[in-house]
Amino acid sequence: MAEAVKDAVSQVAEGVKNLAVAGEQKAEQKAPKPKKEKKQKGGDSDGRPLMLDPVPEYIDHRVQIFEKLKAKYDEEVAQKPREKITVTLEDGKMLEGESWVTSPADIARGIAKSLFERTVIARLDKGTAEETLWDLERPLEKSCKLELLPFEHPEGKRVFWHSSAHILGEASERRFGCDLCIGPPIEDGFYYEMALPEKAAVEQSDYKPLETIVNSIVKEKQPFQRLSLSKDDLLEMFKSNPYKQHIIKDKIADGTSTTVYRNGPLIDLCRGPHVPHTGRVKQFKVMKNSASYFLGDANNDSLQRIYGVSFPDKDSMHEHLKFLEEAARRDHRKIGKEQELFFFHEASPGSCFFLPHGQIIYNTLQAFLREEYWNRGYQEVGSPNMFNSSLWKVSGHWQHYAEDMFTFDVEKEKWALKPMNCPGHCLIFKHRERSYRELPIRMADFGILHRNEASGALTGLTRVRRFQQDDTHIFCTQDQITEEISGLFDFLRAVYGKFGFTFKLKLSTRPEGFLGEIETWNKAEAKLTEALDQFTAGGGGAWELNPGDGAFYGPKIDITISDALKREFQCATIQLDFQLPNQFELEYMTSEVATAKSKDDKTKEEQPKAETQKDEKKEGDALTKKIPPPQPGYARPVMIHRAIYGSFERFIAILTEHFAGRWPFWLSPRQVMVIPVMPSANDYVKEVQAELRKQRIHADIDISGNTMQKKIRTAQLSLYNYIMVVGAEEQEKKAVNWRNRDDQASQQRGEVVPLDEAIKKLVQLRDERRIENHI
């Protein structure tokens, strides 16, 4: 079978996972309401039958082709020569097996029945070029290293949810008679995309019937069967499904083959692998549905997408639903509205309006980084928001990223809003001659960026069109890489520690389509490995290797943080880039030239520069151009791309949900609320507020006509860090009675302290950026 074909089909499935989801389903897409009939046995409350009877003709057509070709394949396997093979387990133990007979399931059952029952999938030859996931019941073909992965393993979970998507697909066909499109696993479950007859829409009333059909499929313990089919057989098998036809014709080369999987009456184009049988899915729930476009293109058919989640046991489902409930309570969109932090408007979709309280958080985060930049030798710069397309052609973004940029015409030339800062920083580096003595140059930029995200993909602050990053680029020599990376690890620790985040590091190495020389890559990866090892040795935790997943221009370190709900997010990244300095012909004077440079040398060195500039203009629209090497005595810098927050917008969303709106004092837009015991204390309330604001503490007052108890309760619900209650006694002593939001003992009766002492403690709490709200 052609691996390239399998990869192509996989890419289709992966590529549409993040497709734009359409807004509200149009009225004309909804299925016409059927006439009320007498309720049938096993049917819906509205009288509709649970499943179609008779079943759609295409189901029998597929099954006949599958059974005929499966019988032929089984005969071929029966003729395969049986040979002794060695299966090496994770602990190094070696077991003997027989090719085309022994399966991973046999190995697992031989060790313990319970091991087999909790194993979802096998992985063969981890860490080699032949690493692959393998169906448990599929016979092994040669000697291998074997891992048995449970549901808790990320790959096990993906396979489990992929198999569950197939079960949902079968239930959907049996209920709707629909044309299935794709059904991938996603971060929190899976979905299946489909076109219902007459462009009908899925209704919430379909959820329970679908779950009922799924339960019957699970009870049948339908085995998942794998079979390789030629392109011609696939076109015949799926001849009634225009969406499968498109994928087959577009992604599978003539004369090649790929795989399908069958469970019960469902046969689907799929790379696999899958769980042994449908009975493994003990718990299943339909979560939601929406409209979407085929292949994410608004010009294509509108489809229906049904989302679900599943687990191997009841406790896991219960735990997941509790998690979803807590996640909904912490949703940054909900808290953002309640706390008046931000909002969005249809006048500019994907562009956030930060309200005063939200902007306080934004500014505080930025001020924190500016302080760190000062201490760590960064230089802040500013660069234009829009550039002529010639810049993006030099950087390569025009060729590979233009669809994600906002482009427009200026004086008959193409321009674009910048989606990232790196090309502009290259121009800043290049605007004058640089010396080795200046390196490293640590260049920081909070510039506004724009990316043309699809409207259906916009999601609160986590997916926007207009945003700012804590973007920095370090220009250094190759000898400085290790030291600079180590400095970035320390930076990560300092920043994430202030928010209570833990983080993991993963080194992604040279991909197949890399640019540059292998020797350069090997040296760069060695330096990153050295820095990572130093980080681990210093108590920073182990790091993981992610072979072949680096950027095409250089290896990278991906940093994943874990929040209060133990969800993981990738915010930070550290990327080595050898290509952009080359594309922009960046160079610095080495020590060799700095020590002896004659006038004649200068004259010779100026000529290539003039030619380069001329070539740049001449080659402006070219996809590729020949780039001359650095002139004698000069060298290319290495460029390190680095972000810690990522985008401020997404980081604020993560922080909002991490803290559930209970902001630490230093970051809080509602630090203190001052409340009078009686109206005669209002003047002292204003005096206390003024003293607090002199120290740049965000203090509000409530001198409304509400009762004192209602004012206190309102402030508590607003999650003010401290509530100060003052009356005649406090005014006389120039003191405050304060209550700590996170100290329940202080809620009923606060502690009376002198005002100047209270202010001093609050300033210290803020300036130390402590995560705890205790003084």
- Rounded Cα gap, residues 638 and 617, in angstroms: 25
Q: CA triplet 368, 370, 373: central angle to 5 degrees?
A: 115
Three-state secondary structure call for residue 263 = strand
Q: Among all chains, which residue has been given the structure tokens 């674009």?
A: 416
- Rounded Cα gap, residues 611 and 539, in angstroms: 51
- Rounded Cα gap, residues 22 and 435, in angstroms: 53
The one-character DSSP state at 616 is: H
Q: Which residue among 231, 418, 451, 711 is the active-site one? A: 451
Active site residue 370: no
Dump the DSSP string for 361-394.
Answer: HHHHHHHHHHHHHHHHT-EE----SEEEHHHHHH
Q: Which residue among 422, 426, 476, 571 is the active-site one? A: 422
Q: Which residue among 225, 469, 480, 689 is the active-site one? A: 469
Torsion sign across C-alpha atoms 431, 432, 433, 434 = negative
Active site residue 422: yes
- Rounded Cα gap, residues 162 and 265, in angstroms: 17
CB 599 within 8 A of CB 543: no
Dump the DSSP string for 25-41.
Answer: PPGGGSPPPPPP-PPPT
Q: Which residue among 175, 465, 473, 510 is the active-site one? A: 473
Residue type at 737? N
In degrees rounded to 5, what are phi and psi of residue 594?
A: -60, -30
In degrees rounded to 5, what are phi and psi of residue 21?
A: -95, 130
Q: Which residue among 206, 268, 470, 471 is the active-site one? A: 471
Please tell me the number of Cα atoms within 13 Å of 17 on its side-chain side.
15
- Rounded Cα gap, residues 401 and 393, in angstroms: 10
- Alpha carbon dihedral 29, 31, 33, 35, in 10-degree steps, equals 140
Q: Which residue among 244, 274, 556, 636 is the active-site one? A: 556
Number of H helices and E strands in the chain, helices first, is 25, 36
Residues whose CB falls within 8 Å of the CB of residue 496, separated by 6 or more in sequence, listed in order: 502, 503, 561, 644
Active site residue 556: yes
Torsion sign across C-alpha atoms 504, 510, 514, 515 = positive
Q: Where are the alpha helices (DSSP H) in 153-237?
A: 154-176, 207-220, 231-237
Angstrom distances, CA of residue 94 to CA of 146, 337, 501: 10, 59, 41
Q: Which residue among 231, 465, 641, 642 is the active-site one? A: 641
Can you point out the beta strands (E) in 644-691?
Answer: 672-676
Q: Give the strand order in the sheet containing 434-435.
A: 434-435, 588-589, 634-635
Active site residue 641: yes
Looking at the annotation, which residues are catalytic?
422, 451, 469, 471, 473, 556, 641
